[in-house]
Structure 1
Amino acid sequence: MQRLETLYSVSSNIHSIATALRRTVCFIVCLILFAALFPIPAKAAEQSEKEAIRVGWYECAYQITRANGERSGYAYEYEQTVSTYTGWNYEYVTGDWTELMDMLQRGDIDIMANVSYTDERAETILFSDRPMGEEKYYLYVDITNADISLTNLSNLNGKRIAMIENSVQTEQFCEWEKEHNITTEHVLVDTVEETKELFDNDEIDGIISTENSIWIERGLSPVVITGSSDIYFGISKARPDLKEALDAAMRSMEYDKPFYNDELYKQYIATETVVFLTEKEKEWLKEHGEIRLGFLKDDTGFSTYDRENGELLGVINDYVQDASDCFGGDKIKFRLIGFDLEENQIEALQEGKIDMIFHAGQNPYMAEQNGISLSDTVLSTPLAVLTKQSHFDENAENRVAISKEDLQYKWYISYNYPDWKIVECNSAEDAESKVRNGEADCFPIRIGVLMQYVDDKNIHGVFLTRAMNSSFAVSKGNITLLSILNKTLKTMETSKLSSAESAYEDSLRKVTAKEFIKDNFLIFSLVILTVFIVVLVIILGLLRKARIAEEKAKNAQQQAEQANSAKSTFLYNMSHDIRTPMNALLGYNHLMKKQLTDPKLLDYQQKIERAGKLLLDIINNVLDLARIESGKMYLNESYAQVDQLFEEVVGVFEPQTKEKKINLKSEVCVQHSHVMCDITKIKQIFVNLISNAVKYTPSGGSIEIKLQEIPCEREGFVAFRTEIRDNGIGMSKDFLPTLFDSFSRERNTTTSKVAGTGLGMVIVKDFVDLMDGTIEVQSELAKGTTFIVHLMHRKADEQYYRQTDEGVESDETENILQGKHILMAEDNELNAEIASTILEEMGLQIDWVNDGVQCVSKVKQMPAGTYDLILMDIQMPNMDGYKATEIIRKMSDKEKAEIPIIAMTANAFEEDRRKAIVIGMNEHITKPIDAEKMKKIITEVLK
């Protein structure tokens, strides 16, 4: 019975345990089902990451609340950047420094910016691994107080100085006092507002503070730096998760934006502080006087002279204006001194002729090599490169083409892209050419210039990631001036000068002749052809009138003389009007040639050029004939070497003879080659004779030319015999007697298909007669023609031609022309544009005025030495070139009165040249402009 009771008891216990197990399993199953049906919101799991971060906010130089309630400042922007990496939302908790520090230590707020590290604070709060910046501590005092002197800091003894209790700046000030043996009365405060109130009530004499403009506004000045420290984010010890995320964000920021802290400091802190000059700096300015500021005369965006009024334009004006008055009553005076080349600036700085260079590239190594020191950044200029590469990699070892005189780009490349190889060029155009030819991979340009290449299929622009930073440059060791300049920059907004430079560059950029031609090629070609046709019609009309005049002259001698006189006068007056459009036609054609790459368009251009030159030859022949008939033809003798002159003329026809497959042979046999002769007329004689031989000799024919010296009975003279023989179509015996008659041709243009006026032989005969020479002709149809010319020339003095032989080397020519400043008086805008382009390609700087009145005014207004030469048109409104030259030559300023003047005019006759020389001009250039001839004349005058 007892055993049964025991079994029953055990059975009951087992049953109870089983029941409990069933209940437990059921409960667990229910929980699982409930979790599956009603999952816990994800937001609850991520609450710690998405909740608002409580940030301490107190008013200081790093944290600013504006009048409209918006937050700003160094710390605020830094915090917002952090949030882009962490995804945090902020809840700002306001208070004073002491209150917020206590809250951070208790965990009532999560983060606070601008906290200096101390071991004591590290026991109660966490710090970010990296500093968010550095703050400097200044002693602000009222320097107008008679008891305080900047030169004797011991006068601070006993002064009442306000400072925040338990702050790093206070600790460092105490150490500074001990170091300088100064004892002040410490007035401990908790807030900026409390400090303001104490100062306004005259209860304190100075303040220890970070850089803050509010003290400047109250008349205080920062007289000395008493300490500095890195500042960190302080983090509640209860939130190590925030420290981990914050450190990760700051590491990423350091990698992505390595100069972010410096940029924020300059934007918010440096510009907030009103700087002042020390007594030493004031004394330096007082003793030194004007600061001699060197600048480049043609530096687009920085410093460029306006062609119309000579006004200096560019960011240099903005700086000088702001810097002159940036220290209130302490004025700074600048004297601007212009230079053509950067090398000249550096040389002048080294020799003490200037005190500073307006801007130089930020390259410490190159600055050291040149013995100069650089200021803080003045402005930054974004750059691009032009390249043919479809995928340009700026981190690769590229070959960069740079003009040898452009130090700015050289310094920039060597500093920012040291792996690039610099390929020196003669000019920016040469650099572009090397890139197009594959001799270089790229060449640098400013962003504003890129638009010129938008439609260029062979080259394109690529923006560079590193801007070109510019600084002021002073002589090594001139610490005082460097400090003054850095302080002037500190008073200006960071981006002001950079923005101004870009604006000036855009405003100065004008559409050039090259761009206009390139964009309007078809229209321009039609205009040129139209001008060509109009001028040709004028010429044909003139010829027709001339023929009619001659026919009438046969009836009566008196009428003939009147007709000849009228014809000559008419053609003389027409010379200027005909040559003006011809100058535009040939000039623009010359510019267009340099821009074309399409073979078909080049072929059109070459045909226009040949037609234009033919038309010019016709014009010259007609005008020469008019002068001959009017008795106004003179010889203009100058030194020449006959053999070289001969070879030069023959060389002109070598391309034509090769094209026609004509065998051209020449021979020179002379002993006395140095003579005095009229070079232009000699050339015209033989150009006409050889040109006829080429015209009338068919393909496969031959031309033989021989120049030989023959015995001469006249003392001091040398005689030459020139024979020009061809096996061309020849002339009939009946035509030979009329060969040298005006407008005479055996075959007209339509029959022979060879263009010409029939004036060439007339002019040749008259020129030969003018030189007391003879010309003979032998010819037979289908067998050829031979011309034999005998001329005598006076021997040149040996000493003269030995000196002349030295000549001007090409390199010397470049040095003579490079950077010279020229004033050009020209009333025709098209001619001015053509001449400016040609002259600028020679390395010259051009100022343009419309008439003689403006030219004289410009010379009077600008300082002596501004212009190295004047190019003077003759026929201009208001005042012609002759009158303008006379006024300039009579100026009281000797240097201005003696400035070289060259006539550049369509008045092309010899009497025009003589008159220009008599008036006081140095030389005479005729239109249409021959670029090479112009270059030679300008070089000789400047030399």
Structure 2
Amino acid sequence: MKRALLLILAVLAGFVPYARAMAQSPWGAAEEAWLKEHHVLRIAVDPYWQPLEYVEKGTAHGLSIAYIHAIADRLGMTVQLVPTKSWSESVRKLLDGEVDVLPAVPDFQLPKSAGTRIALTRPYYVGTTLVVAKARDKNYFDLSSLGCITVAVKEGGAYHQWFEGHPLSCTRILPEPSDSMALAAVRDGKAAAAVGPSAVLHPLIRLQYDKTLHIAGTIAELPLVLRMAVRQDFAPLLSLMNQALASFSAGETDQLYQNWLEGADYLQPSLKALWHYYGTTIVLFLIVLISLGVSVYQAMRARANALKSEKVKSEFLAIMSHEIRTPISAVVGALELLDREDNSTPRRELLHRARESADSLLAVLNNVLDYSSISTGKILVKPSALRVNDLVRSVLNGFEAIADRKGIALQLNDQSGGHIINLDGNRIRQVLGNLVANAIKFTEQGAVTVDVRLSRSERSSERVTLAIRVSDTGIGIAPEDQPRLFQPFSQVGNARQRQTGSSGLGLSICKKLVEAMGGSISIWSTLGQGTTVEFSLETTIADTHDETALPPSPQVAASVSGAILVVEDTPANQLVLMEQLRALGYGPVLAESGARAIDLFST
């Protein structure tokens, strides 16, 4: 019993490796032995049988190539393409032993010279043979119906060889270098019809000969059945390839066809074919392209015109700035002198009105010119160290006389602590001056109050926030008008309120200047009670020794003694300036030109 058990175990031990080996390989012993000796599968193709098989840039493509690579993967082999210049050369290399496989051989194309030296695999593709002719020709459905016509075929190809081996009674065969040239022969009248595989001719007709050539029928007795040809002495390889072809599932076969169709290159389409299939798209694209080009040209031209117009406007405003400001300054100066000398009440009132109108006109002109510069982006911010309370007082000093004439109190509530900060003094002066001027202009009684506060910034301990608020007890602004206050050339209120000589630019200029300095501006107003405007800016504390000296106030300037040189070439301004200086107690010396001024100053 013990001996029998040991015998059974020994048999089983010998059977396990054999069973494992059988499970690992589906091939027979002869095939396995052949695979161990051969690792490369050499192939040759028809280099111009597109899309079934062809060579492009040294690489083979097509349906037959997809199948041979799939078979090689099954066998664990690699595929090597042996270059050839024609199908005939590929067949010769197979017969000479330089090639192992021809991947695409029709049933009817096996060369007579091959004899029994070539074996064919099972078929893997079945197609139809097409007859292509012009629209007016008849249909052809068998070889006998061809009759006595000239038929164009690809030279050296399967159909050429078949017709040579099976000559028809009166049909003349015209060999052409390629299937495309065979179709061209039909188009040009050299042949009545062309014969070839549907997989090749159908896409060529669609892409290159649409509406010129047509499918005239199929040859029923000449189907295109593709097989692979193997050297007869490679019987194990033939068996392996047949087994591999039989092992492909429906899904794998479908994927091979799908990859072939997606990657098939049916030659470069003709312009006529492109126009037929994409004519509408091409026309629309050209229209869009032309429209875009015209739009770009018009935009560039409009920009050039705008720049030219802006340059002309800038030049015009520069001239107007000189030509208008000069006489207006003379008018304002003359009215100021007359106002000082004439004490008669009726005439003094007229002089007051004239001076106010002249001041208003000058302010309007200044605002228009300033807005023109600001709107073109010419806002230069140059911070410097300055004392805020001194700057605010110097601005208010310039409005004291106007406020006194209207009987309005001009008040300053300074909580800046006398600190020196880094700001653009000229821009602050311009903004504050506009706000105070507006407040006085629209206030008939009461007061205009300026509050100045300096506090630590909420965002950084190293920065401070300057807030300047201008409040008045004037006519106020209606709620529906307030959203338009910062719009250029916007005037609010009734007709009586608009009769102030305002251009509607003051607040717009203030907003742009404040934003250019990185700040913000806000307004609150109640109709009939007054208006409050506040702007705030973030900045830093400056060193004391960096403080920029402010221009001396009129009171300080008046205490300076000595002669003053007046350089002015306009007679009206000469007269006004000389009289103004004499009224202030100076002894003016006039120079009509720059050269004269240098001479007088040097002496």
With structure 1 as the length reference, what TM-score do the two structures score?
Answer: 0.29
Larger RCO (CA under 8 A, 6+ residues apart) = 2
TM-score (norm 2): 0.43
Largest Rg, 1 or 2: 2
